[in-house]
Chains A and B, each alone.
Chain A
Amino acid sequence: MMLTFDRLQAGRALGDATVRVDADCLSKWDSMFPGSIAAAGDHLPSGLVVALMMRGYVAILGERPQGNVHVEQEFFWETKVPKESVLVVTLSCLRKEVQGGRRWVWFDNQVGNAAGVRHVRGIMKLVWAA
């Protein structure tokens, strides 16, 4: 079922997703940013960690309205992500409001590992399309 604005509840956890860092994702990142994977050594490039955070976000939300627009983003980096990682992404809806005829939604998106170590936290603000 489509996750519409009306179905989002402020303060409510939306779930979690397991994201495995595999050769395919490393290869895709390297195709966009050649040399980045090697330069990061035993850890992931920060931009790739953000991409995997977004993978978790997409997986947790499931079917979203088409045409949502990302308007603001905050990051709080805590610990680096080892290259051989299985990440746990958690997502909650922080807030939602209608203002200026648009539907605004804030999410708290966190990336950690199964042991509970947090790598990065992101706060996203979007215009929700429906």
Chain B
Amino acid sequence: MGCLTGAAGAAPLPPASIAVGTRRISGGDIDSYASLTGDYNPIHIDAHFAAQTRFGHPIAHGTLVLAPIWEALDALLGGRALEGARAAAKFLRPVKVNSEVRIEGHLAESSSREVSYEFTVRNEDGELQVNVLVVLPWGIT
């Protein structure tokens, strides 16, 4: 994450990119998330069921795939976390259980009051799986 420095007295400039990193969505993650949410949809946890769907394989809960993005933003934003933020996610391709994803965020737009980042989640072949646009309040003290 490359945080830029703003002019003296001004709010810090938003980082140009947010490298969330890679993460393997493990079967253990799926089990924990299913237990936490109560979401035992067999498309996530039952290989036999999932094999009969168009995905052919168990897939991760969509909101679990997004979680590393919120973790990175919580760390970036500190105490105020995501207060006042909004986000729109599109799940374009399924994330298979036990696959690795690479998540990156890039500054898309900025103004005196807010900044927007586009996050992408890609599989090991570089295919785009999830796209997330996040708009954050910025520069308001």
CA distance A50 to B134 in the complex (A): 15
Interface size of A as a range? 35 or more
CA distance A77 to B63 in the complex (A): 15
Q: Which of A29, A43, A46, A70 contacts B62 (CB 8 A)?
A: A70
CA distance A46 to B96 in the complex (A): 23
Chain A residues with Cβ below 8 Å from B71 are 33, 36, 45-47
Report if A75-B86 is in contact (Cβ < 8 Å); known contacts: A36-B71, A47-B66, A50-B70.
yes
Report if A72-B90 is in contact (Cβ < 8 Å); known contacts: A25-B36, A28-B32.
yes
Interface residues of A in 36-63 (CB under 8 A from B): 36, 39-41, 43, 45-47, 50-52, 54-55, 58-59
Query: At the interface, is chain A mostly helix, strand, loop or mixed?
Result: mixed
For the complex formed, measure the closest distance between the CB of A27 and the CB atoms of chain B, giving whole angstroms: 9
Report if A59-B38 is in contact (Cβ < 8 Å); known contacts: A33-B67, A66-B43, A67-B43.
yes
Chain B residues with Cβ below 8 Å from A59 are 38
Report if A46-B70 is in contact (Cβ < 8 Å); known contacts: A67-B43, A71-B91, A74-B88.
yes
CA distance A51 to B80 in the complex (A): 19
Q: Which of A32, A46, A58, A80 contacts B39 (CB 8 A)?
A: A58
A–B complex contacts, Cβ < 8 Å, 28 sampled: A28-B32, A28-B36, A31-B28, A36-B74, A40-B74, A40-B81, A45-B70, A46-B82, A47-B66, A50-B63, A51-B36, A51-B64, A54-B37, A54-B61, A66-B41, A67-B41, A67-B43, A67-B53, A70-B62, A70-B63, A71-B90, A73-B66, A74-B86, A75-B82, A77-B83, A77-B85, A78-B84, A80-B80
